[in-house]
Amino acid sequence: MPPVLFLLMLLGALYGLGQAMSWEEKRRLRNQVVEMFDHAYQNYMDHAYPADELMPLTCRGRVRGLEPSRGDIDDALGKFSLTLIDTLDTLVLLNKTTEFEAAVRRVLSDVRLDNDIVVSVFETNIRVLGGLLGGHSMAVMLREGGQHMQWYQDELLHMAKDLGLRLLPAFNTSSGLPYPRVNLKYGVRGPETRTGTETDTCTACAGTIILEFAALSRFTGDPVFEAHARRALDFLWEKRQRNSNLVGTTINIHSGEWVRRDSGVGAGIDSYYEYLLKAYILLGDDQFLQRFNIHYASIMKYISQPPLLLDVHIHKPLLPARTWMDSLLAFFPGLQVLKGDIRPAVETHEMLYQVTKKHNFLPEAFTTDFRVHWAQHPLRPEFAESTYFLYKATGDPYYLEAGRTILDNLNRFARVPCGFAAMKDVRTGSHEDRMDSFFLAEMFKYLFLLFAEVEDLPFDIEDYVFTTEAHLLPLSLSMVPSSSYVQPNRTSEEELDDSNFDWTCPNTRLLFPDPAFPRNLREPIRSAVDKSCPRPAPYREPGMGRPPLRAQDFMANSPEHLELLRRMGVSLIHLKDGRVQLVQHATQAVSAVAAEDGVRFMQEMMELSSQQQKEQLPPRAIQIVSHPFFGRVVLTAGPAQFGTDLSKSSTGVRGFVSVAEPYSGCTEITNAEYVQGQIALLQRGQCMFAEKARNIQKAGAIGGIVIDDNEGSSSDTAPLFQMAGDGRSTDDITLPLLFLFHKEGNILLEALKEYREVEVLLSDKARDRGVDVHETEEDCLTEATTPTSFEPTGQSQTSTVEVDKFVSEEVTPSQEEGSPLGEANSPAEQVSALVKEGSLTETEADLAQPKEDSDKREEPESDTDSSNQSVDELLADWREDLEAFQQMEKDEL
């Protein structure tokens, strides 16, 4: 087993351009952090203790049952002096040893863990159990130093074990996933528990246990805690979607079925990914690293759209699940630093920083054009966390300035006489009477570390790993003899694969040889945020005689049209599969008149899409007919709205394929002698499809195939669409042009690479393959055609329309292809119902649902995506996909 890697220790320092912050200024800011902590902590002790949390506006403690219920938020409160326990290791880090010793004595004398109260398993684990273990780690460190805590006899550890035993009944399920809540006195069974009836839990709730439970097992020598945490992680891993390698947000704890199939890196999933990587760092088990790397590759493929991180559906990962981001994903750049992937960390952090500067704090949720979606800000520390890790990795003083911004905004907008108050609305600056325990546990740790020098720290921070609540667990736990805990069970299919490991960490000096490189990454993102989310300006009522934008005139590549959309509260999102999504937030329009124009535009776009839905052409077929395929490989292709109509041709167009030069086909073809009389292969992008068709037609080609330039795209995971014209007459184009996604296009390119002469048939459907039907069924997967339907959803708070687009081509509404079950309502009826139900504030009509995953294509044996799976596994995955799409009809898009 390789040694435990703590990646921050191996990352080289990189100093960005600009004025480095002076030592005196860093010291001043470090002292300011300590003063702010003192203000928050002392007010908690003076006005709230022994209550769980401080209410800073009314200067009193929040006691559960005595204050109006806030719903699930109150599940973190267990009448166990939550804030004090959560703050223990922060006191030591900030060199407050005397206060720490007093706090430990208070915890031991005052805190009871046997209260008849129902608490969140997740919150109690990360805050209370983590706080006790972090406090124990600090107490042991100080005791071994010989000057402090000499009286300490592992009392905090004994309390931690007591609490761990009280949490264990929650894991008594058939799956091993814990119930979301437990009664500290009675467990989960029986009427007196008032819990145990729940069926669902979030992925993070079940997957954020391993660090605390494994540490408890290693500290105490009792393996039961680590065993239960590993079992829960194993079950989540088994239930991942096998094609996308993503997990959903909510899962049934009994059946393992995904209840919410949206997947991202924010709320509901965030710390599951964090704990896979950190479990490897803390425990040294390669299995955790392998799983993390597999998940991470899928995150970067589907969810990461730098600088954005957008939720997707696990079964259709190219289909966005929502058009906004929540603030909890701000931890992810810090996790990418631990992974060693600095570039996307810089980009996403910069986006978050610019949103912070626009609104003073990160809104609880914000849209893809960086406007407020949910206006609250409960003083979350995730952005400060990523700022610290990026500074640690790069040494760029830019991140010190980001930290200064955090400090200044906290003091200017959140500081109140009795502590720091959460923001109820970042737009108005109004406060909420809450100061969560994580503010003291996390925020001040990361800010202090950001500005502190090595000599300011009472211990070597590199000897510890941070939990998701920033509690400190010693890396020495990985050296505990294996006999004291249960070794993980590895299934035969999960043998360690070296391809899933990055055994060495990149040196940032080699990654960024130019010191200006991080700055160069940041500047385009800063400009994008500035353009998308400017400071509000006074609106001048239209009176210039200019009519509002009409849907039939809209061009996605027109800056003037995009500005008109922005004024109407309509934003445009570029999707990975090449489409454009239009989203309207009426509250973000510059005026009520503009909002009405926006609603009218969206209604017109829906009607236009409905009309084009009726005119949609069915998918076409590209059949490889030459040796050794002989028609057995059929690739599903998208049609064009111009050129030869293959449905009216009884024979189709048959010919050998040749790669056009230039590959984009956007200028005159330079290898016309090879293209003449053949079917030209082209790459998507850089110009309009009609222009590509004209250029290859001029070169003498008899047809064309455009291959997607979006690596990894496939008709299995993205809906097909029609290629539009260029806004002028296309009657001069007489050859057929078809579109292949990247995966299907690669099959054709690999065949050409291996056999040099490849002949294909372009047609409306596959022709006779020249082989016996039974042989065909044995040799390859059969084709399936999925019926189309038009099924908008009505669950969201936004109005959305999705349309196809190309890099610079005209936009056309996309065809929606839904489940084979169909709906009774007609497309027009469904759209009318949605428009009728909508209001000027926010409505939704989503006009682009994906094609069913039951489409299966002929693919050569060299395509190994599914070759390693048995027939039973393929059928099981297919059934899972089918059930998922039936559920997706009800899910929020």
Which range is least confidently modeled, 87-96, 276-285, 329-338, 718-727? 718-727
Q: Which of 580, 566, 560 is nearest to 533 (CA)?
A: 566
Query: At residue 495, does pLDDT exceed 80?
Result: no
pLDDT at 110: 97
Q: How far apart are CA 329 and CA 759, in angstroms?
A: 49
* Residue written as token pair 């998308």: 532
> What is the C-alpha separation between 613 and 421, in angstroms, rounded?
51
Q: Please check whether residue 641 is in contact with residue 724, taking contact to mean a CB–CB distance below 8 angstroms.
A: yes
Give me the pLDDT at residue 709, please: 86
Q: What is the pLDDT of residue 858?
A: 35
455 φ, ψ to 5°? Answer: -70, -10
Query: pLDDT band for position 281 (50/70/90)?
Result: very high
pLDDT at position 274 over 80: yes
In this structure, the number of other CB atoms found within 10 A of the CB of residue 147 comes to 8
**pLDDT(13) > 60:** no
**Percentage of the chain exceeding pLDDT 70:** 74
- Run of H or E including 776: helix 773-779
> Which is catalytic among the residues 234, 326, 382, 396?
382
Confidence band (pLDDT; 50, 70, 90) for 841? very low
Max mean pLDDT range (308-317, 529-538, 605-614, 628-637) = 308-317
Q: Is 754 part of the annotated catalytic residue set?
A: no
Range with the poorest average pLDDT among 103-107, 232-236, 324-328, 579-583:
579-583
Lowest mean pLDDT across 133-147, 508-522, 840-854: 840-854
pLDDT at residue 819 greater than cutoff 50 = no
**What contacts 844, CB < 8 A, 6 or more positions away?**
792, 793, 794, 795, 796, 797, 798, 799, 800, 834, 838, 893
Residue 123 has pLDDT above 60, yes or no: yes
Q: pLDDT tens for residues 773-795?
A: 333 333 333 333 333 332 333 33
Would you call 270 a catalytic residue per the annotation?
A: yes
Is the Cβ–Cβ distance between 295 and 246 less than 8 Å?
yes
In tens, the pLDDT along 468-478 reads 999 999 999 98
* CB contact at 8 A, 240 and 193: no
CA distance linking residue 333 with residue 343, whole number of Å:
9
What residue type is assigned to position 158 of the chain? H
Q: What is the mean pLDDT of residues 659-671?
A: 93
Residue 123 annotated as catalytic: yes
φ/ψ of residue 560, rounded to 5: -65, -40
CA distance 741 to 883: 25
pLDDT at 879: 52
Share of the chain above pLDDT 90, in %: 56
Q: Among 844, 417, 784, 818, which residue's Cα sits nearest to residue 599?
A: 844
User: Is pLDDT at 873 greater than 90 in this prediction?
Assistant: no
pLDDT at 545: 37
**Higher confidence at residue 777 or residue 710?**
710
Give the Cα separation of 167 and 162 in Å (integer). 9
pLDDT tens-digit readout, 381-400:
999 999 999 999 999 999 99
Average pLDDT of the residues of the chain? 80
From the candidates 52, 89, 270, 604, give the one annotated as an active-site residue.
270
The reply to whether 101 belongs to the active site is no
State residue 255's pLDDT score.
94
pLDDT interval class at 72 (50, 70, 90): very high
**H helical segments located in 653-699:** 672-675, 689-698
Per-residue tokens: 624: 């490889």
Tell me which of 75, 89, 99, 123 is the catalytic residue: 123
Total-model pTM:
0.63
pLDDT number for residue 631: 80
pLDDT at 811: 39
pLDDT of residue 772: 38
Residue 650 pLDDT grade (very low, low, confident, very high; cuts 50, 70, 90):
confident
State the pLDDT at residue 572.
75
User: Which pLDDT value is given to residue 618?
Assistant: 75
**pLDDT at residue 754 above 70?**
yes
Assign 870 to helix, strand or coil. Answer: coil
Task: With CA atoms as reference, report the closest residue to 254 among 355, 173, 167.
Answer: 173
Is 484 or 687 the better-scoring residue by pLDDT? 687
pLDDT of residue 817: 32
Residue 539's CB is within 10 A of a number of other CB atoms, namely 12
Please report the pLDDT score of residue 687 as a whole number: 85
Average the pLDDT over 528-533 and give the result.
66
Catalytic, out of 52, 53, 200, 364: 364
